[in-house]
């Protein structure tokens, strides 16, 4: 599995707009074939950085997802809302792979 990590620089005065944008992806991403790990808002420390993490079985699966996303009416509406309200100032994507034996391990009982 590969994971796309999206780092967003957001307008800190429009945190609620970014939250709304992220909530919409909760419906759109799974429908278009991505495994949504989650979206994350700034909490402590930096107040202008948010994250989105989406998993895919392969790069080919990501490319197919991108194609479906470009045709999805709700996705297009969400992109348009972000552009018109201008709360995303910068966006960057990185792709990583999980190191076996290190992901989704439950905490040890104490």
Spans of all domains in the chain: 2-97
pLDDT in tens, 46-62: 999 999 999 999 999 99
Q: What are residue 101's phi and psi, to 5 degrees? A: 85, 10
CATH 3.30.420.10 fits 2-97, yes or no: no
Could you tell me the two tokens for 23? Answer: 């909530």
Q: Which residue has the tokens 């790990």?
A: 37
CB–CB of 3/104 below 8 Å? no
| Residue 109 binned pLDDT confidence (cut-offs 50, 70, 90) | confident
And the tokens for 19? Answer: 């939250």
pTM over 0.85: yes
| Interacting residues of 13 by C-beta distance below 8 A, sequence separation 6+ | none
Would you say 9 and 49 are in contact if contact means Cβ atoms under 8 Å apart?
yes
């Amino acid at each position: 599995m590969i994971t796309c990590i999206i780092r967003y620089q957001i307008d800190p005065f429009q945190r609620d707009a970014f939250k709304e944008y992220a909530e919409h992806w909760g419906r759109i991403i799974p429908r278009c074939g991505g495994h949504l790990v989650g979206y994350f808002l700034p909490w402590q420390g930096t107040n202008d950085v948010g994250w989105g993490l989406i998993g895919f079985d392969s790069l080919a699966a990501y490319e197919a997802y991108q194609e479906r996303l470009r045709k999805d009416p709700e996705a297009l509406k969400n992109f348009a809302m972000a552009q018109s309200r201008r709360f995303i100032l910068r966006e960057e994507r990185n792709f990583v792979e999980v190191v076996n034996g290190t992901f989704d391990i439950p905490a040890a009982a104490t």
